[in-house]
Structures are given as structure tokens and as C-alpha cells.
Amino acid sequence: MATRTWEGNTSSDWGTSSNWVENSVPVSTDDVYIVSGIVSIDGDDQSAVTLGSLTVGQKYTGSIGSSGVKLEISATNFDYSGQGTSAYIEGTFTNLTVQNTSADSAALNLSGDSDTITTLRILGGRGGINIASSCNIVTTIEQIGADSVTTNIADNTTIGGSCSLIMDSGKLELYQAIPTITIFGGELEAVLDSGTVTTLDQYGGRVRWNPTASCTITSLNIYSGLFDSRDSTAPAFTVTNTLLHEGGTIDERSGLENAIWTNALAMEGGEVRYDSGRQVTIS
């Protein structure tokens, strides 16, 4: 294991030894630091390399890879705070933490050919973080203290059977069902075309439930905040068990009357808004 620091004195090529302070291209188990400078890094196939850690610091303003040719590399720990216009990175990461990004809508783009992100933590940033459908997220997605971030999790992303999402800020566009979702704030826009959310607990913020095809929430518990399905275009979506507390609101005035509440809505307070003339059972 060794430390390698990007300098980019010769070119934008990851595989050129003179671009590294130590005059050596990183190999597996190395700790790599890309923490300053403006020299961009070209896309490159380093898929045989699994680093001990990869750190992209906020004083680095170059871009990494491109939408056509990504930097393919894996790491046990990946910490990203880069300020370049965009980064396109493909690989497997055990712990991936985003502390900051540029304000660009393509600030950080993650993909892989069946590659895996075990834990994804988004703790800051100013732009877009895009998770491609080729990714596999295993256990945890957190978006905490990231007011200015928009995260997009693409349709057909592989989600682990015990995966959970926790968010309190920013916006998250979700195109693939996650088993357990807990919302404290921010805006979750769920545009699902299938799948089941086993438990959705909402303590604040706004959930825009806008599925485009049949999907299910098994247990919906709204303690505070707005659960808003007015924009849903799904033929029908199903909510099996619902508990609404004081401070929570359900608004499903879509005009389509396409929400199926299998059991009676249990209310301990709060407000339910639904289409005029529709019958909803409340206990």
C-alpha cells in the first residue's frame, strides 16, 4: 500500500507515471489523493485496480472522465468533494461519501457494469448526483444536510433487499423502489413503474408520489409533512396500511382517483384531501 497524489504535470492521462507526484501510477490497495489543481483526468480503463481509498478534494477543479469514456476504477473508500464541472466514474465502492460538488447538474455521475455501492452517503454538494441503472446499491442511501443537492437514482438500478433510504434535505428523484424509506425533510419524488416499498415513514418534508405504473406501499406512516400524489399518472397504485398523525397531510386530488387504499386510513390527526365525490374509509 502506498500514497499516490495527482499532479497532472504531463497530461490528462491517469496511466502516465509523470502525472503523479510519486512518479508511479496507482495500483490496488494504494491510497489516491486528487486534491488540488485544474488539470482534468481523462476517462481510462483501470477496472483491474481496487484502491484502498480514493479522495477527490474540494480544491480540485478539474473534470474526471466523460459521459462517453468514464474513469473505471474501484476503491474500498471513496470520498468526493471535487469542484470540477463533471465527474464520470465507474466502479465498486464499499463506502462512498459525497461532501461537496460543483453546481452543475452532472456534477457527479456514478455507473458500473454490475458494480456495487454498499453504502452511499450524500452529506453536501451544490449540484446533481446521478446514479445510473447499471449500479447496484446494497444496504444504505443517506442524504443528510445536503440542501442544494439533487440526486437521481435511475430506473432499473439494482436495490438490495434490505436497503434503506434516509433523507432530511435536498431533492431525490427515485425511479426504483427501495424497501425502507424514512423522510425527515427535503423532497422525495418517487416516479416508479413497479415494485414495493415495504415501509415509508415520513416525519417532515414532501413526498411526491408520482408512479407511472402499478406499485405498492405496504406501510405508510405520516407523522408530519405532505404526502402528495396529485401528479400521479399510474393506472393504479396501492397503499395497504396507512397511519396519519397530527401535522401530516395526504393530498391525492389527481382527478384520476387512482390511489387504492386497501384498508381504512387510520387517523390520529392531520388532513386528507381527495377528489370531490370520492369515498375514502377512515378509522
Segments of the chain scoring below 50 in pLDDT: none
Owning domain of residue 74: 1-128
| Size of the chain, expressed as the number of residues it contains | 283
The reply to whether the predicted model has a pTM over 0.85 is yes
* Longest CA span, the chain: 74
| 34 part of a folded domain | yes
| 44 part of a folded domain | yes
| 47 part of a folded domain | yes
| 191 part of a folded domain | no
Domain count, the chain: 1
Tens digit of each residue's pLDDT (9 = 90 or more) over 7-53: 999 999 999 999 999 999 999 999 999 999 999 999 999 999 999 99
| 271 part of a folded domain | no
What's residue 256's pLDDT? 84
What's residue 121's pLDDT? 98
Please identify which residue in the block is written with the cell numbers 434535505. 169
Question: Which residues are CB-neighbours of 76 under 8 A, at least 6 positions away?
Answer: 50, 51, 52, 53, 93, 94, 95
| 161 part of a folded domain | no
| 170 part of a folded domain | no
Tens digit of each residue's pLDDT (9 = 90 or more) over 207-221: 999 999 999 999 999
What's residue 114's pLDDT? 67
Q: What is the dihedral of CA 245, 249, 254, 257, to 10 degrees?
A: 20
